[in-house]
């Protein structure tokens, strides 16, 4: 029971206030940042 609380509900200071589970999800999700494919003119 304490492991569930510790890993899924308790924010951790070393993880910027995230739970270990939230951090795991963040690290395992693909980067969804949009990519800018527009050409830039260089002078």
* Entry pTM: 0.60
Give the range of the structural domain holding residue 8, as residue numbers without chain letter: 1-26
Question: 10 lies in a domain?
Answer: yes
Question: 43 lies in a domain?
Answer: no
Residue of 28, 29, 23 lying closest to 7 (CA atoms): 23
Question: 22 lies in a domain?
Answer: yes
Q: What is the pLDDT of residue 8?
A: 95
Give the CA-trace dihedral at 17, 22, 27, 29, to 10 degrees: -140
Total structural domains within the chain: 1
Q: How many CA atoms lie within 13 A of 11 on its CB side?
A: 4
CA distance 1 to 40: 55
Q: How many CA atoms lie within 13 A of 18 on its CB side?
A: 10
Return per-residue pLDDT of the chain as tens, 43 residues.
999 999 999 999 999 999 999 999 999 988 766 666 667 677 6
Q: What is the pLDDT of residue 32?
A: 66
Within 10 angstroms of residue 32's Cβ, the number of other Cβ atoms is 5
Question: 4 lies in a domain?
Answer: yes
């Amino acid at each position: 029971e304490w492991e569930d609380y510790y890993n899924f509900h308790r924010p951790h200071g070393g993880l910027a206030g995230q739970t270990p589970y939230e951090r795991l999800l963040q690290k395992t999700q693909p980067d969804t940042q949009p990519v800018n494919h527009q050409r830039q003119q260089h002078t």
